[in-house]
Amino acid sequence: MIDRTTVDKIYAAANIVEIIGDYVTLKRKGVNYMACCPFHNEKTPSFVVSPSKGLYKCFGCGKGGNAVTFLMEHESVSYPEALKMVAKRYNIPVEEREESEEDIRRNNDRESMFAVNSWAAEYFMNYLHNESEGRSVGLSYFRQQRRLTDATIRKFGLGFCPSYGDRMTTDALKAGYKEEYLKMTGLTKARESDGHLYDPFRDRVIFPVHNISGRVVAFGARTLRSDKKVAKYLNSPESEIYSKRNEIYGLYFAKRAIQQQDCAIMVEGYLDVISMHQVGIENVVASSGTSLTQQQIRLLSRFSRNMTVIYDSDPAGIKASLRGIDLILQEGLNVRVVLLPDGEDPDSFARSHTADEVRQYIADHEQDFLNFKARLLLDEAKGDPARKAMVIGDMVQSIAQIPDAIQRAVYIKECARTTDTQEQVLIAEVARKRLSSSGDRETDEFMRRQSAQIRDEQAETERAEAINVRVEPGSSVETLESALVQFLLQHGHCNFEVKEGHHMVDCNVAEFIFTELETDKIRFENPLYEKIVSLYRSIYEEQGVGVKVPEDRFIQYNDPDVVNRVVEILMADKNYTMSKIWKRNDIHVESEEEMLAAGVPKTIHIFKSKVIDRMIRQQHDILRKEDLSEEEQSQAVKTLAHLNTVKVKLAKKIERLIL
C-alpha cells in the first residue's frame, strides 16, 4: 500500500490540465478549460476542468473527480495504479508498505500482464543493442535498410527477439515471470505435440505498441526473411490489456503534435509512422494494417476533428480502406486525402525528403475525400453507364454518413457537378439512404435531436437541482439528504444564530446537524450520503468545531462515487444557488449567515419530519398484523402517539421557519 505522505506528494504535484490534456483537447474558457467529454459521445463541449480546484466535471454525463480518478475511469485501473501513473509522470518515488496476503491476492491479471510486457519491451531493446545477433541482424536492418537513427530506435523502443527457439521465454521464467502471463500476452506459446514452450516472435524485429498513456499493451514482430511462406508480421493476440480495435499505433508519441497542429495524419504501418516522426512530422499515427474502427476514430477525435489520410499508389489497397473513411465521415470529422507518387509509401517518401518537402507535398496534393473517391472510381467507369450508376450510389452512401446537414448539402452539390447528375436526384437518394439507416426522415431526425437536447437540458437541470436543493415541505428524503451534505461540505465550519426562547444562540452548522441527527438516532437512507457524512464527522471530530474540513480529504478519497458527488457540490456556485433557493420561496436573504440561519434548521426539521412519517407508517403496519399480542399492540400505540407528538412539534417549527 502507498503511504499517506507519498499520496499527498502525488496530489500536490499532479497538474490536472496536463494530465487530462494528454487525453482530450482542452480549450481555455476564462479561468477553466473545456472539452468534449471523453466518457460519452458529444459534439458540444460540456466537460469542464478547473485547475484552481484540481477537479473536472462533465455536465452532460455527470462524471467528475480529480486527476487520479480521471485516470482510474479512463484507463480502467485501480486507485493505487492511478497514483503510480501520476507519480511516474512527476518522478515521485513511491514508497509502499509490505503487501499482505490479501493485497497480493487482489493483484489482478491485468497488472501482471502489463508488467510482463514492460519487461519484454526492455528485454527486446537490450537484445537489439547489446547482443551480437541483435546488432548484426536487427540493428543493421533498422540503421541500413530503414535508415533510422539510434535516437529514433530508442524513442519507439524497437527491439529484436532471439532466433533461438525459447531463449526469451527461458530468460523471462528465470527473471521470475509466470508462464501463464507470458502465454496470456502472446509472448510465449506451447507446442501442441509435446507442450514445449517457445517464442512465437523469435528471429524478428520488434515494434512495441503503446496505449495512449504510454504503457506497452502489445507487440508487432516483423520477419527479415524473404521466404513468402513465413508471415511478414506477427502481432500480439487480443487480451485483457489489448484490443486492436481500440488502439492506434503511435498516438502516445503523436498526441501533443496533433493537438498543436489540429490535424492527425493517418498512415498504414509501423515504419510509416516511425520514418515520418524521424523526419520531423510528428502528428502521424497508423491503423497498423487493420481497417479503421469507430473506437479508433473517436479516440483520435479527442485531439483534433481534422484528419489527413496518406495513401501510396496501390489502387487495391486504397479501395480496401475506403469503407473506413466512411466511418470517419459518420463521426463528423473533416477528412482529406493525399496520394503519394508511384512506387512510394510514407516510409520511403519520408526517408527521401526533408520535413519541409513532406509538408509542402501534403499541402499541394491533399484533396477532399469525396472528390478523391469520385475521381478514383469514375476513372474506372468511363463509358459504362451501369458502373457509373454504381459509383454514384457509392458516393451517395458516403455523403449519407455525414451528420451535419449543411455539410451534406455542400457535398451533394459538389457530387452533382462531378458526376454530372441532377442535384435533386441526389438529395432524394441521400434522404432515402438516411431513412433506411435511421428509420426516420430528415425533419423528424431534427426533431429527435432537438428532443434529445431538451432531455439533456432537463437532465442537467435535475442534476443541478440535486445540488441546488429546494428545501420545501414537499421535498423528497433524497433531496433533503443531498441538501444537508451540501451544507456540511460548503458551510460546515460556519456559524449562524437561532432563537431559543427570548435569546439568540450561536450555532455551528456541522454541530447543529450532527446534534439533531444524534438526538433522534437518525441515519441517512442513501448509503453514498451516509458515507460522506460519516467521513465528514470523523474528520470534524479530529479537528474540532469551527475548523474548515479540507476539501482534499474528500476529492482525494479512494471511492470514485464519493469523489464524483463531492465534486458536483464543490463545483456549484454556492452563493448563486443558495440565493436562488430562497428567492424561489420569496425569502429575502442579505448575507450568508442569514441564509444558513434560514436554511439549515428548515432543512433538518423537514428531513426529520420525513423520517418520522416513515416511522409512523411502520407502526401502522405493525398494528395491522393479525397475530399481534396485547403487549406488542400497546407498545406500538405508545410509540405511535409519541411519534405523532414529535411530528406536530416539527410541523410548528417548519411553519415558523417558512413564515
Is residue 52 predicted with pLDDT exceeding 80? no
How many CB atoms lie under 10 A from the CB of residue 104? 8
pLDDT at 201: 96
Q: Which CATH class is domain 4-106?
A: alpha beta
pLDDT at 382: 74
pLDDT at 576: 41
The lowest-confidence range among 68-72, 220-224, 594-598, 632-636 is: 594-598
pLDDT at 467: 39
Q: Which amino acid is at 280?
A: G
pLDDT at 463: 43
SS3 235: strand
Is residue 472 predicted with pLDDT exceeding 70? no
Q: Rounded mean pLDDT of 545-567?
A: 80
CA 408, CA 528: separation in Å to the nearest integer? 47
Q: Rounded mean pLDDT of 600-615?
A: 82
CA 161, CA 208: separation in Å to the nearest integer? 12
For 261-319, how does the pLDDT look when each residue is reduced to its tens digit (9 = 90+)? 889 999 988 999 999 999 999 999 998 766 788 888 888 887 788 999 998 866 666 76
- Is the sign of the CA dihedral 245, 251, 252, 253 positive or negative? positive
186: left (phi over 0), alpha (psi -120 to 50) or beta: left
The lowest-confidence range among 33-47, 62-76, 630-644 is: 630-644
Element (H or E) spanning 582, and its range?
helix 574-584
Q: In the structure grid, which three cell numbers stand for residue 92, read together?
A: 515521485
CA 60, CA 36: separation in Å to the nearest integer? 10
Is residue 260 predicted with pLDDT exceeding 60? yes
The radius of gyration of the chain's CA atoms, rounded to the nearest angstrom, is 32
Q: Which residues contact 68 (CB under 8 A, 6 or more apart)?
A: 10, 11, 14, 79, 82, 83, 86, 556
CA 16, CA 70: separation in Å to the nearest integer? 9
Q: Rounded mean pLDDT of 56-61?
A: 90
Is residue 644 predicted with pLDDT exceeding 90? no
pTM: 0.64
CA 270, CA 218: separation in Å to the nearest integer? 13
Top-confidence residue, 472 or 627:
627
CA 422 from centre of chain: 45
Q: Please report, in angstroms and rounded to a whole number, the separation of the first and last CA atoms in the chain.
A: 54
For 362-396, how does the pLDDT look when each residue is reduced to its tens digit (9 = 90+)? 999 998 887 887 777 777 777 778 888 888 888 88
CA 606, CA 653: separation in Å to the nearest integer? 9
pLDDT at 465: 41
The lowest-confidence range among 129-143, 423-437, 468-482, 549-563 is: 468-482
CA 368, CA 391: separation in Å to the nearest integer? 17
CA 526, CA 562: separation in Å to the nearest integer? 12
Domain ranges of the chain: 4-106, 109-235, 251-438, 465-658
Tell me the HSE value of 504 on the side-chain side, using a 13 A CA sphere. Answer: 5
What CATH number should be reported for the domain whose range is 251-438?
Answer: 3.40.1360.10
Question: Percent of the chain, pLDDT > 90?
Answer: 27
Contact 575, 595 (CB under 8 A): no
Q: In the structure grid, which three cell numbers stand for residue 26, read together?
A: 482542452
Question: Percent of the chain, pLDDT > 70?
Answer: 85
Residue 234: band (very low, low, confident or very high) from pLDDT cuts 50, 70, 90? very high
SS3 15: coil
Strand-pair partners of 28: 33
CA 96, CA 307: separation in Å to the nearest integer? 44
pLDDT at 125: 96
H helices present in 90-192, as ranges: 101-106, 109-130, 132-133, 140, 150-155, 167-174, 179-184
Q: Which residues contact 289 (CB under 8 A, 6 or more apart)?
A: 233, 268, 269
Is residue 343 predicted with pLDDT exceeding 90? no
Do the bridges between strand 306-311 and strand 264-267 make them parallel or antiparallel, or are there none, so unpaired? parallel
Q: Rounded mean pLDDT of 186-191?
A: 94
Same fold, 109-235 and 251-438: no
CA 497, CA 506: separation in Å to the nearest integer? 5
Q: Output the CA angle 580-36-262, nearest 5 degrees.
A: 140
Strand-pair partners of 309: 266, 337
503: left (phi over 0), alpha (psi -120 to 50) or beta: beta
Top-confidence residue, 210 or 459:
210
pLDDT at 321: 67
H helices present in 131-198, as ranges: 132-133, 140, 150-155, 167-174, 179-184
Q: Rounded mean pLDDT of 246-275?
A: 90
The lowest-confidence range among 22-36, 340-354, 463-477, 506-520 is: 463-477
Average pLDDT over the chain, rounded to an integer: 81
pLDDT at 358: 93
pLDDT at 520: 73
pLDDT at 447: 39
Chosen CATH of 109-235 out of 1.10.1740.10, 3.40.47.10, 3.90.980.10, 3.40.50.2300: 3.90.980.10
The lowest-confidence range among 179-193, 214-228, 375-389 is: 375-389
Choose among 482, 468, 483: nearest CA to 600: 483
For 562-589, how does the pLDDT look when each residue is reduced to its tens digit (9 = 90+)? 888 888 877 764 444 444 444 444 444 4
